[in-house]
Structure 1
Amino acid sequence: MHPILTFFHVDSTAELVWVGIGFLAQVLFGSRFIVQWFHSEKAGESVIPIAFWWLSLTGGALMFAYAIYRWDPVFMLGQGLGLFVYVRNLMLIRRSSNREVTG
């Protein structure tokens, strides 16, 4: 068995790809806090930029897919519920932006 497969405790290249998807999901999801911090420092107050919600949705969706692949119901429930929050916030932002444009 290849040492990389052994290191990540997987039996196939397909499983290794899923581990890569899981890592990518964690990076995207974690980076939302860096983005939020950067925008807050720039504004001089606590703000949540739209990029925060997009990173939350993308990272959360990938983590949800990974949780389904691993068939982890605890992880699926946690990530699945979060997706509703991220989508709803993006909907509210879009509605607010449309109201500002139409005045």
Structure 2
Amino acid sequence: MSFLQNRLESVAPWLYADSSAWTAIGLFGTALFGSRFVVQWICSERSGRVVVPPVFWHLSFWGSLISLLYALHLDKLPIILGQALLPVLHGRNLWLLRKR
């Protein structure tokens, strides 16, 4: 049973087209989001203390946004809900960094 497909397919048919490109998009979003921890770890090791560099928030935002897009493609409510607020939260952190 679809959650959003009945509502969105008429305006975004590409979102529900089955292709290997969607798998690549999902993997890219996951890799981007996961790479933030590697970047944060490397920066912390170089500093000798815990550091959260600005690039951490950029990777978080873009990785979560791409993962949300992939979740919408999958059209599974638990996955969509799990991803829905992440771009907002990470985007807010980027906004706060910009103001600083």
Please give the range of the TM-score, normalised by the shorter of the 2 chains: 0.7 to 0.9
Residues 12-91 of structure 1 mapped to structure 2, 5 A cutoff: 14-91=18-95
TM-score normalised to the size of structure 2? 0.79
- In the alignment, is the contact (CA less than 8 A) between 2:32 and 2:59 conserved in 1? yes
What code does the residue aligned with 1:71 have? D
Structure 1 residue 14: deviation in Å?
4.4
Instruction: Quote how far apart the aligned CAs of 1:80 are.
Output: 1.4
Q: Distance in 2 between matches of 1:93 and 1:44?
A: 22
Q: What is the CA-CA distance between 1:15 and the residue it aligns to?
A: 2.0
The TM-score with structure 1 as length reference comes to 0.77
Question: Which runs of 5 or more residues in structure 1 are unaligned?
Answer: 1-12, 97-103
Bigger Cα Rg: 1
Is the Cα–Cα contact under 8 Å of residues 71 and 79 in structure 2 kept in the other structure? yes
3-state SS, counterpart of residue 21 of structure 1 = helix
Identical-residue share of aligned pairs (%) = 39
List, as ranges, runs of 4+ consecutive aligned residues in structure 1 with deviation greater than 6 Å.
none
Aligned residues: 84
Where do 5+ consecutive residues of structure 2 fail to align? 1-16
Alignment root-mean-square deviation, CA: 1.3
Deviation for aligned residue 1:35: 0.2
Structure 1 residue 78 displacement after superposition = 1.5
Shift of 1:60: 0.6
